[in-house]
Structure 1
Amino acid sequence: MTGRILFVELRRTAVVWFGVGLAIVAAWSATDPERWDGYWMAGVLAHHSALDLIWPLVLAVGATYGRRDQASRMAELVATSARPGLVRVAPRAVAVVGCLAGGYTGGVIEVLARAVLAADHQPTGWVWPVLLGAASVAAAGLLGLGLGRLLPSRLTAPLLAVGALAVVVGLHLLAESTGSRVPLLGPAFLGPADGYSTIDGRAVVGKLVWFVALAATGWALYAAATRRSRLLAVLPGVVGLLVALIVLPPVDEAAHPDLQATGLVCADGTPRVCVSRVDASALPELVGPARRALTLLAKLPDPPTAVVQQVSPHGTAIAQRRDTVHFELLIYGDGTIASGLPTLEAEILDGAGTWACGAALDDVDGWEPIQAARAAAGLWLQGRDAAPDEFWHPVQGMVEEALATLRSLPADEQLARVAALRQAALDCRPDLYEVLTAT
């Protein structure tokens, strides 16, 4: 009987089409033609990030179905059924939740299929964002059903959608300003997760507890027929919230580097050139330019002897090694290595083979002289006297001025200035331009 009711729910309502629409939205959100298909975890996280928009929509869809009995004046008739309330509402709840959660999960299939064909490394933790996303969608659907039945107004669904969106935005803003674990209660927020990281086990357990508790509250509200049962229905959500806040880690500990993904794969021979396991397919393209760059850097005192990919956000300070060029690597959608400069060799020589740091990421005025000095040092190592046209125009004049100043000096002094810049860049100092030009 329950199976027949479920079939009727699926056939006579639009919930299946809502699920299909959700799959399309989720798949579209994960699509990025500039992202290489082999970035498995990055694709899964892009799909997961769609929950910021999907979760409020699912809550509204659930509320729309939750008020259906009252809207059709069937509530009293349905309540006379001899079956327990939790069992009576099960077919519709399963239909709504199954279609919506299934639609969201189906949206990641294309990402996974492309990753299987292109990826050099399959991350072990990719399943957790998908599982957490499906659980959050199920919780939103059930909570929407319960609130729709509790507040059977036509305004309930749109107000819930707007309110949920405001909460999601508020949690993101809270994450930027504090280290609180509260933002992890949001449907899409996973802390500092990226394509080279894995989700901390405490974050997975805490979020699952929270979503299961929300789902239980939603189901209980949907089945409740008395004021007492409605009050008791809130209990799972409250308990789940308290448990989740105890289990969840601080925001900055919610994700950590995946040691398998960031493990190094090195080219045969010397000098040493290495990339992360995730980016192993780019190694053949990188080896030639990297070794040519090391040859040019060899003219400096105590030069680097290796090029190694550094998996860190651009512009952040890292523990640089004098004997290693720490190189940021990104693969384009067509499988080629992305470069902000005309060639990979120039990219590696930028800043005399050092990591870009020395100013806050949003400090545009602070970065301009740093970038100009770094570019001038790289061009000097290549034997060039002018910045190419591809350079960013705000710093092009500064680059050419620094090069002209450098070229006007005796050869030994030129070498000393570039060596001094390299040392300052290794220390992440902000005064690279002054060091290079002695101004």
Structure 2
Amino acid sequence: MSRILGIELRRSGALLAGTATAVIGVAGLYVLALTGQTGLWDQQWNLLAVFQRIMLVVLWPLALAAGAWQAGRDRRSRIEELLGTTPAPGWRRLRPSALATALCLTTGYLLVLVAGAVKVATTAGYPGSGWQAVTAVGVLALVAAGLLGLGLGRLLPYAYTPAVLGAGSLACLLAAIEATKLDDATKPGWALLLPYFTSTISEFQAVGGAASAGQAWWLGGLAVGGLVLYLATNRLVRTLAVAPPALGLLLAAPMLTVTAFPVDAAAVAEVCTTDGGPRVCVTAAHSRKLPMLVAPARQALRLLAKLPNAPTSVHEAVPVPTRPQPASEAWLDADNLSSAGGPAELTARILAGAGTPLCLRNEDSDYLAVLRARAVTAAWLYGSHPVPGPALAPAEQALRDTMWKAFIAQPEAEQQRRVAAVRAAGLDCGDQAAALGIGAGR
């Protein structure tokens, strides 16, 4: 069997399909480096596994077309009738081709994981939970496409079948992206039946075990159905090929109502300093960034000490509802932790809103007004205006300069009262722009 498989690997299109999977997948990962967007997948093993699944929107039609092309090899070579006269059962002759296709597609998919792992290993702290299952289901999805392509290619042995299957499935999958947009992305419902994920997740989320198990049932049934369709030698057995996908769909149905991307409790758990100084904490997902945060965070605490009831520790605030902010803590948005340009800018971002994260109460909140109030607050605490950070548009900077001048024209005690009011508003997700009282219409 191993000798036959080796011949199959050398002479069939399976090896080419696996190679194309690896090349396109690796290119899909690293092309984001050109625009600095590798953060979509290189911060955590979970993110890498999910991003690979997103790329199946392209890789799945490729595998489907490759399987159909492979199935038509005997017909293209005009040896179909000759092979039909051999005494060996047809399924035995076709089995190595199916095995080679599955093996090559699996290897190609895993090579993409290995290529991404090179970068993830240098940046990830907490690996995330469940990524192994996500990867395994991705492999199963790709193998299912290859086997289904083999089955459909043998059922419809025409020259145009691979092209129609590849282009048609790609068009359908792209259309499904738009059709499956939901208000609650954590509960995608029937979109979980697609071979790919329609969106990525944050480093604070995981793919639920129930979702992965349901997808495995469905895609496994699809793979078995494609294999039966390919190996079948009579019409009755081919008709029975619909049974495995139907059973898989039945077993997968409960996953359609679950929360597919729950908050990962281990990812949002805090990791804190233990050196005896003021506590500085980050989430486990960003544990590698704790050393770079310590000095800027403690500098921010020294500057915040001029406020009454000043905070005594700094904590990363995650973008999920966990707990109310205590008055004794200064919080830093997780996005700011990742995007700050240096220690001085990181200190300034902690001081924005006097140590409170950005919070908009409803869709009618004046987003820019809140940002301006937080910037003025940061400048007052930092001791200079503007604070370190990216350059703004001239018109926006001029507006903030005007607000700053109006604010420092107030008596010192009134300035302190207003900054404290901004912090109090931020602790309760109130209107920080109104609390500052400086700006257009105030």
Give the structure-1-normalised TM-score: 0.87
- The one-letter code matched in structure 2 to 1:290 is A
State the distance in 1 between where 2:310 and 2:371 align: 21
Asked if 1:324 is matched to 2:335, the reply is no
Which ranges in structure 1 are unaligned for 5 or more consecutive residues? none
Match of 1:302 in 2: 309
Contact 1:86 1:219 in 2 (8 A): no
Contact 1:45 1:194 in 2 (8 A): no
SS of corresponding position for 2:315: strand
State the distance in 2 between where 1:288 and 1:62 align: 57
Match of 2:135 in 1: 130
Contact 2:279 2:313 in 1 (8 A): yes
Identical aligned pairs, as a percentage?
35
Q: How does 1:148-187 map to 2 (within 5 A)?
A: 148-177=153-182, 179-187=187-195
- The one-letter code matched in structure 2 to 1:277 is A
Contact 1:185 1:207 in 2 (8 A): yes
By percentage of residues, which structure has more helix?
A: 2
SS of corresponding position for 2:266: coil
- The one-letter code matched in structure 2 to 1:11 is R
State the distance in 1 between where 2:91 and 2:400 align: 71
Number of aligned residues:
427
Match of 1:64 in 2: 69
Contact 1:86 1:220 in 2 (8 A): no
State the distance in 2 between where 1:152 and 1:294 align: 72
State the distance in 2 between where 1:284 and 1:317 align: 24
- The one-letter code matched in structure 1 to 2:262 is H
Match of 1:26 in 2: 25
Deviations 1:115-156 (A, max 9, x none): 445544444422122111111110010011111122223332
Contact 2:319 2:334 in 1 (8 A): no
State the distance in 1 between where 2:177 and 2:314 align: 37
Match of 2:351 in 1: 349
Match of 1:87 in 2: 92
State the distance in 2 between where 1:180 and 1:9 align: 40
Question: Which of 251, 264, 268 pairs up with 1:258?
Answer: 264
Deviations 1:201-250 (A, max 9, x none): 11111011111111011111112343332221112112212221224443
Q: How does 1:351-366 map to 2 (within 5 A)?
A: 351-358=353-360, 366=366
Contact 1:41 1:196 in 2 (8 A): no
- The one-letter code matched in structure 2 to 1:286 is L
Match of 1:5 in 2: 4
RMSD of aligned residue pairs (Cα, Å): 2.9
Deviation at 1:345, TM superposition (A): 0.3
- The one-letter code matched in structure 2 to 1:257 is V
State the distance in 2 between where 1:163 and 1:263 align: 45
Contact 2:348 2:387 in 1 (8 A): no
- The one-letter code matched in structure 2 to 1:418 is V
Q: Would the alpha carbon gap of residues 11 and 436 (structure 1) be closer, same or farther in structure 2, given more than 3 Å must change?
A: same
Contact 2:13 2:66 in 1 (8 A): no
State the distance in 2 between where 1:174 and 1:309 align: 36
Question: Which of 240, 247, 254 pairs up with 1:246?
Answer: 254
Give the structure-2-normalised TM-score: 0.86
Deviation at 1:340, TM superposition (A): 6.4
- The one-letter code matched in structure 2 to 1:194 is S
Q: Would the alpha carbon gap of residues 360 and 27 (structure 1) be closer, same or farther in structure 2, given more than 3 Å must change?
A: farther
Deviation at 1:387, TM superposition (A): 6.0
State the distance in 2 between where 1:167 and 1:67 align: 23
Match of 1:395 in 2: 396
- The one-letter code matched in structure 2 to 1:349 is L
Deviation at 1:425, TM superposition (A): 2.6
Deviations 1:260-290 (A, max 9, x none): 3332221122321011233223222211110
Q: Would the alpha carbon gap of residues 223 and 30 (structure 1) be closer, same or farther in structure 2, given more than 3 Å must change?
A: same
Q: Would the alpha carbon gap of residues 426 and 3 (structure 1) be closer, same or farther in structure 2, given more than 3 Å must change?
A: same
State the distance in 1 between where 2:248 and 2:112 align: 28
Contact 2:56 2:195 in 1 (8 A): yes
Match of 1:371 in 2: 371
Q: Would the alpha carbon gap of residues 263 and 435 (structure 1) be closer, same or farther in structure 2, given more than 3 Å must change?
A: closer
- The one-letter code matched in structure 2 to 1:404 is K
- The one-letter code matched in structure 2 to 1:144 is G
Match of 2:292 in 1: 285
Deviation at 1:358, TM superposition (A): 0.5
